[in-house]
Amino acid sequence: MSEHQRFHLHSLEELRAELRRLHLTLPISERISILGDPVPLGTLSAPNRFAVQPMEGFDATADGGPGELTFRRYRRYAEGGSGLLWFEATAVAPDARSNPQQLYLHEGNVSAFRRLTDQTRMAARAAFGREPVLVIQLTHSGRYSKPDGVPRPIIAHHSPILDPRHGLPPDYPLISDDELDRLQDVYVRAARLAAQAGFDGVDVKSCHRYLVSELLASFTRAGRYGGAFENRSRFLIETLGRIRNEVPSVFVTTRMNAFDAIPHPFGFGVTPGDPQRPDLDEPTRLARLVCEIGAPLLNVSIGNPYFNPHYGRPFDFPIKGMTVPAEHPLEAIARFASITRTLQQAVSPIPVVAGGYAWLRHLMPYVAAGLVEEGWAALIGQGRGAFAYPDSVRDILTKGRMDPDRCCVTCSACTQIMRDGGMTGCVVRDSAIYGPQYREARRHAMDRLTEEARRCRDCENPTCAKACPAHVDVPGFVRAFGDGRYRDAYDLLRRTNALPEMCAFVCPSEVQCEGGCVEHIFCEHPIPIRDIQLEVCRIARREGWTGIRLPAESRPGRIAVVGAGPAGLACAIRLLELGHKVEIFEHCSRLGGTPDAMIPTERMGDAETEIHAILAPALKNGRLAIHTPAGLGSDLPLKDLRSRFDAIFLAMGLQGSASLGKADGVVDALIFLREAKAGRQKTVPDRVAVIGGGNTAMDAAVVARRLGAADVFLIYRRSFTEMPAWPSERDRALHAGVHMLILTQPLGYDVDAAGRLLGVRIVRTDLGPPDEQGRRRPVPRPDSETVLPVGLAIEAIGQTLSPETRAALEGLALTEDGLVKVKAGSQETSLDGVYAGGDMVNGGSTAVQGIHEGMRAAEEIAARLAQAAAISRKGGST
């Protein structure tokens, strides 16, 4: 073997010289026009010799149907000119998916797949006046099954090479023969749906060590599907035969591994004793059997991208955890080409798809033409190359060349996104879409987070913990995560933060824990505490560690918690952990408060998932009762609650809002966000004004842009320096294209005769001396008043206690700012036994501040009830 080299070939002559230097044979032809010849495929015909290989995008909808990016990808392929589109691996069953976002074809979404094929053909007809042949790859991921993001391996045999990589013990169960018999039915049903969806052909995937491919290498398996070649090939051959007979409207084929490069007897097509040397006797037999069934073409692959990705897929930059292959990429290309040649000659005249040529970049067409001219292959497949340069075929056939600046650079970034669980595509050539996907997936990748955690200096007097309102032991949980002690990390988080996953989503880590990290001072690159916290919580929920651990015996006393936002839930959780019984009263039908109901999905998803995972043991045990919808007021007077419960914690939030005036077209930001998140607010006018400078204003502005507003104007009377929104939220709004009208004060609204909004009256401001809070006071500039025309104004000026809430508080003392007053250093109110926390006390701080207040109130309530119980035992009274 020669040493690996990155791509450095600029001309055809340089390629020929490199092949001579390496003593490699690879056919080359400058007669590129041959690639435009049509290729008969049974009763159909591909209009040229190019095929798009099945490369997953992992961008399905929640039900497994094609998502927006799926439609985009195949539309671009169709417009790019390839004559055969081999649609990506599509699972035949829920547990067959390798990724929660992998396509999965079933009765409930077959119409969506039909739209996909219809739109793909329509795009090709519009561009070229003809249609490509469409094949769908049906798959079962086998040992790589990860349907919910967690590995759920389904294996055909034990492998001392692959099992350790998955942490599988020697007694891990194998899929049974009976289960495989039933799985044939599943494939047939999926093929029938594929026909309904408009596909021309069905591929039963048998490559890359997914389940059917693993069966081909099941030499050590007993029973009908293992041992002899006839048994190991039984599933593939019988399934293809059944589809051909039972679903005659689609043709059958397979993308098969001809060489696993895994030692015998655990690899297919491998010479015993030399896993790097192919033995193509069995792969040739298999290819002939597939063609005898009636397959009009065959697609050949080699290697295993999870084990030895350079076999058949040479790259210049390894993905995380992989090493650069110790051979020249041309050796891998020549090996793959030779294997394809053997199979093409064995099944001729049935066309074989050759692949693995992305490393050649703009020189690929000359090798492709040579392969076709010499009879080494009849069709040329592009996988990564199509990701990067979907219209390369159009350029090859019309211009006679590829643009070097648009070719795949074999950087492995598309594979890295797949490994990290993101939606994948070409990061370099399609960077507007997949650059953010790559960065986001890398941000949450376990290997990166582990490395980052190990940078923690484990400070003796940690400023990160001091900057956290909940005073979480940040170095402790970060160090535990870096050491792989995930349970310890979660326990440390939960010790002082009852809802750590919610906080990881919505708290301003850049100005709290990460802002206090000394690494922020040293290199402006703090430990990613929030991301590590979020991953710890995900692991905990997946492993079932999140549920409240209840004491064996319950403590006396009845406690009511009114409001199920962060503060109320934290209080309830801590009280339950201390052994008390709790009843929660929430005026909405869901738990979670503002984060769940109003913070946009992209910033905060479904809070109820974490909440119910935590509360489940208490609900099951009968120590917790939840009443929804049930809010404090005429139906639930505070006086009645005080008579029924020994202690009460109030955490209803701030339901009232300040306003500049009423008009048709003026809406409160919280109402707008709630309606948008619930899917009831679907559109907005072209021009929208958002009034305010806090996080709620930023959320509203970003959501308005997402709902289709061409121009969103955020009006704020002071400068950026005084703006209360967190820096990350300001950046998010700017990135979304929001116009920031700083030093601009809203005065009121212009309306038409019917009361409909016409615009916002605004005036320019200058900054005067600081006010009592230390912020410079805005001073209107004379003669600068004007009207900003808009169709919708969203008010995020500030929240207050609503009149209804004030009335329901029944004599509770309030502060000068109209908030619930609590005793210094306590959460106790002016009423005996009534405690309060969260926004109605702090005026609208962070979720973690509310959680801290709720947990502190729980400790105070528990102490109060313990003292009362002790006095009662002594025969006294409180």
| pLDDT for residue 318 is more than 80 | no
pLDDT, greater one: 189 or 631: 189
Eight-state DSSP code of residue 323: P
Whether the pLDDT of residue 312 is over 60: the answer is no
Q: Which of the residue ranges 217-231, 264-278, 380-394, 587-601 would you say has the lowest mean pLDDT?
A: 587-601
Span 296-300, average pLDDT: 98
pLDDT (tens digit per residue) in 61-116? 999 999 999 999 999 999 999 999 999 999 999 999 999 999 999 999 999 999 99
- Concatenate the DSSP letters of all residues of 806-840 into one string: HHHTTT--B-TTSSBP--TTS-B-SSTTEEE-THH
Tell me: pLDDT of 197 over 50. Answer: yes
pLDDT value at position 876?
56
User: How far lies 184's CA from each of 25, 179, 181, 513, 820, in Å?
Assistant: 41, 9, 5, 54, 66
- The conformation of residue 322, written as its DSSP 8-state character, comes to -
pLDDT in tens, 716-729: 999 998 899 988 89
pLDDT at position 313 is 59
Distances (CA, A) of 583 to 244, 403, 625: 61, 67, 5
Q: What is the pLDDT of residue 600?
A: 81
What pLDDT is recorded for position 18?
A: 96
pTM for the whole structure: 0.86
Give the pLDDT score at 878. Answer: 44
- Pick the closest to residue 676 from 712, 643, 650, 700 (CA basis): 700
Distances (CA, A) of 549 to 428, 489, 623, 687: 48, 16, 12, 51
Task: Determine the pLDDT at residue 325.
Answer: 65
The predicted-structure confidence for 651-696, as pLDDT tens digits, reads as follows: 999 888 889 999 999 999 999 999 999 899 999 999 999 999 999 9
Q: What is the DSSP letter of 94?
A: G
The string of pLDDT tens digits covering residues 30-48 is 999 999 999 999 999 999 9
Spatial separation of the C-alpha atoms in residues 266 and 272, rounded to whole Å:
10
pLDDT at 306: 66
pLDDT at 597: 80
**Count of beta carbons in the 10 Å neighbourhood of residue 49:** 28
| Residues 6 or more apart whose Cβ sits within 8 Å of residue 750 | 757, 758, 759, 760, 761, 787
Query: Can you name the residues that pair with 591 across neighbouring β-strands?
Result: none
- 775, pLDDT greater than 90: no
What's the average model confidence in pLDDT over 149-153?
92
pLDDT tens digits for 590-629?
A: 898 888 888 887 777 667 888 999 999 999 999 999 999 9
pLDDT confidence tier of residue 228, bands split at 50, 70 and 90:
very high
Decide: 133 and 195 in contact? Cβ < 8 Å. no
pLDDT of residue 872: 80
Q: Report the percent of the chain where pLDDT is more than 90.
A: 84
What is the sign of the dihedral through the CA atoms of 351, 357, 358 and 360?
negative
- Report the pLDDT value the prediction gives residue 426, as an integer from 0 to 100: 97
- 137-148 pLDDT, tens digit per residue, is 999 999 999 998
Angle at 755 between CA 750 and CA 759, to 5 degrees: 25
Split at pLDDT 50, 70, 90, the class of 462 is very high
Average pLDDT, the chain: 93
Tell me the three state secondary structure of residue 379: strand
Using pLDDT thresholds of 50, 70 and 90, give the confidence band for residue 309: low
Band of residue 290 on the pLDDT scale cut at 50, 70, 90 = very high
Instruction: Please report the DSSP string for 453-470 in residue order.
Output: HTT----SS-HHHHTSTT
**CA distances, 115 to each of 61, 120, 131, 663 (Å):** 14, 8, 15, 42
pLDDT above 70: residue 307: no
Q: How far is CA 256 from CA 263, 290, 352, 792, in A?
A: 18, 10, 11, 57
